[in-house]
Amino acid sequence: MNILFYRYNSICEPDIIAIMKRLGHTVTEITEEMRNKELDARGQMNLVSAELKKQESQIVFSINFFPVVSEVCNIFHIPYVCWIVDSPVMELYSHSIRNSWNRIFLFDYALYEEFRGENPKRIFYLPLGADYERLDSLIETITEEDRKKYSADISFIGSLYTEKCPYNHLKEESWLKGYLDGVIEAQTKVYGYNFLEECITEEVLQQFKEKAPFYQFPEKANHNDRAAMAHLYLGNKVTEQERLRLLKRVSEEYSLDLYTASDFSPLPKANYRGLAKSATEMPKIFHLSKINLNFTSKPIRTGLPLRLWDILGAGGFVLTNFQSEIPEYFEVGKELDIYASEEELIEKIRYYLEHEEERQTIARNGYQKAKEQYSLELRVKQILRAVS
């Protein structure tokens, strides 16, 4: 199969391309958007159209959804296959999601339930996974120097969301901010159920739109302002508050290695280690850390984020917040472990630092389960079978 792969530099892209090639497919890449973030819709359209005219492709593929690519594929009568790996992906509200040549796979079941009615026969649920051929080979190359450099009691790799939080533009002290701060505080204490959208009344929504720069939906889109406010604004603020609060507590009681591009000044006791290269350094850190923390971004309502699969794929022990889909795929306490409150997080960190053999057994079990049943190669095969 000839696959035209539209890229924008997602962390997932190289592994999926490598797997497609290992499965015997030919992959042609459009990479302009990786270099040019100012590329507009017309530019996207021209690039995809020119490539489809130049050579025969059986499908066009992308990570996340590009409405213009969907429209071009609809004109050419070529399946447009995309895999949603982030949340929120606001492009899903575009009317282009209804195109008959789409094949859209969503990693979060709550997202799937929200959008499947827009195109029932062409929207599917599919969780993520890791590329074990690459990760196994990389872990085998770990040296003594790597062990000295990357070993840690507790590690966290990721954004603190301080730079991804448009809610912070709401500076004015008012009943609105007091109400929303209360909603945010309540949501930080609840795992497994996202109630943010339910707390946004029409009055709250209109007041907020007047007081903060608000997301502008394209003309041809479902203008779901309540969802935009819940996930882009409140959800990201919950994520910021949760990560800062929990990492501060952890770093005050234990040795925490922190890898982030965010402002880490609110965490003076963390061991700041700079940035970690996703393909070559992150897996070694996951493998060599006694405990890897995962804090799922709040707009991911039920699903398992890519970071969780990355840790398991590297053979690392993962301690994560509760997500309602976790028990569907893993046995808690046997293949990974979860926390449902700040105190439980601290208690489990203490426990697993003191019980090394149990911690290592759980990490091995999680690695084996994910490798045998949920590998990225199996996921890609599922996608290609569904569209062949």
pLDDT digits (tens, 9 = 90+) for 178-232: 999 999 999 999 999 999 999 999 999 999 999 999 999 998 999 999 999 999 9
- DSSP letter at 156 equals E
| 324: phi then psi, degrees, rounded to nearest 5 | -65, -20
**What does the alpha-carbon distance between residue 87 and residue 83 come to, in Å, rounded to a whole number?**
12
Q: Tell me: do 352 and 236 sit in the same domain.
A: yes
Angle between helices 342-354 and 356-373 (to 10 degrees): 110
pLDDT digits (tens, 9 = 90+) for 304-333: 999 999 999 999 999 999 999 999 999 999
| 316: phi then psi, degrees, rounded to nearest 5 | -90, 155
Q: Tell me: do 141 and 60 sit in the same domain.
A: no
Q: Tell me: do 143 and 284 sit in the same domain.
A: yes
What are 257's strand-pairing partners?
155, 271
Q: Tell me: do 204 and 283 sit in the same domain.
A: yes
CATH code of residue 214: 3.40.50.2000
**What does the alpha-carbon distance between residue 191 and residue 324 come to, in Å, rounded to a whole number?**
8
The predicted model gives 40-51 an average pLDDT of 96
Q: Which domain holds residue 120?
A: 2-126
- DSSP letter at 305 equals P
Q: Write the single-letter amino acid at 310.
A: D
pLDDT of residue 266: 96
Domain membership of residue 34 (yes or no) is: yes
Q: What is the DSSP string of 307-337?
A: HHHHHHHTT--EEEE--TTHHHH--BTTTBE
- Residue whose entry in the numeric block shows the structure tokens 């943010």: 196
Looking at the chain, the whole-number percentage of residues with pLDDT higher than 90 is 97
Q: Tell me: do 229 and 274 sit in the same domain.
A: yes
The predicted model gives 165-170 an average pLDDT of 90
Q: Tell me: do 152 and 229 sit in the same domain.
A: yes
For residue 103, what are its two tokens? 């094949």
Q: Which one of 126, 146, 180 terminates a domain?
A: 126
Q: Tell me: do 300 and 245 sit in the same domain.
A: yes
Q: Tell me: do 194 and 73 sit in the same domain.
A: no
117 has pLDDT over 90? yes
Number of structural domains the chain divides into: 2
| 64: phi then psi, degrees, rounded to nearest 5 | 65, 175
Domain membership of residue 363 (yes or no) is: yes
